[in-house]
Amino acid sequence: VLPQSYSGRALETFVAQTEISVLVASTKTFTVAAMQSPHLFSLVLETLVHNAAVVAQHLTNVGRRSALARTAHLFLELMTRLERIGSVTRNSYECPLTQYDLADALGLTPIHVNRMLRELRERKFLEFRQGHVRVLDQQGLTKFAGFEQEYVDG
């Protein structure tokens, strides 16, 4: 049963950086389908738990990690997600994000992101040039960022 106060409006928004497909269904239709299919209900619960783990990591990034560690953590998360679909070659991957996009994702200014990218490059952790990321020292970067990929894997 849905709360009477729920308006049906989205509570958050996002901008896709790549092409996506979206299935639109009313909350009522989705709820009925999930109740009739234990498998679908299980997938929904797994997705909710996984999303909660991702949100917890992102909150930790903003609240507890330095700007440099936060930036490193984001690049490692992106690499882990892209590895799952076979889009990482020799610790390198395409990254269409601009410094403005990265700033939005990290809660930093574009100028600060530029400084963080330079610092990561100077520490020989990674390079980010022309939409391409190359991780130079994955082990060192992982330790520095406090990155544990289990939350990405679900």
In a domain, 66, yes or no: yes
In-domain check, residue 13: no
How big is the chain by its Cα radius of gyration, in Å?
A: 18
Q: What is the CATH number of the domain that holds 138?
A: 1.10.10.10
Does residue 74 have a pLDDT over 90?
Answer: yes
Task: Specify if 14 maps to a domain.
Answer: no
2-11, 26-35, 69-78: which has the minimum mean pLDDT? 2-11
Smallest Cα–Cα separation from 134: which of 102, 103, 88?
88
Q: Contact at 8 Å (CB) between 63 and 73?
A: no
Q: Is residue 4 part of a domain?
A: no
Name the pTM for this structure. Answer: 0.71
pLDDT in tens, 2-16: 445 555 666 667 777
46 found inside a domain = no
Position 91 pLDDT exceeds 50: yes
Q: What proportion of the chain, given as a percentage, has pLDDT over 70?
A: 87
Report yes or no on 92 lying in a domain. yes
Q: How confident is the model at residue 25 (pLDDT cuts 50, 70, 90)?
A: confident
Alpha-carbon span 140 to 79, nearest angstrom:
15
What are the two backbone dihedrals, phi and then psi, of residue 135, each rounded to the nearest 5 degrees? -85, 120
> How far is it, in rounded angstroms, from Cα 110 to Cα 7?
36
Please check whether residue 149 is in contact with residue 80, taking contact to mean a CB–CB distance below 8 angstroms: yes
Q: Residue 28 — pLDDT band, cuts 50, 70, 90? A: confident
For residues 62 and 105, what is the distance between their CA atoms, to the nearest angstrom? 10
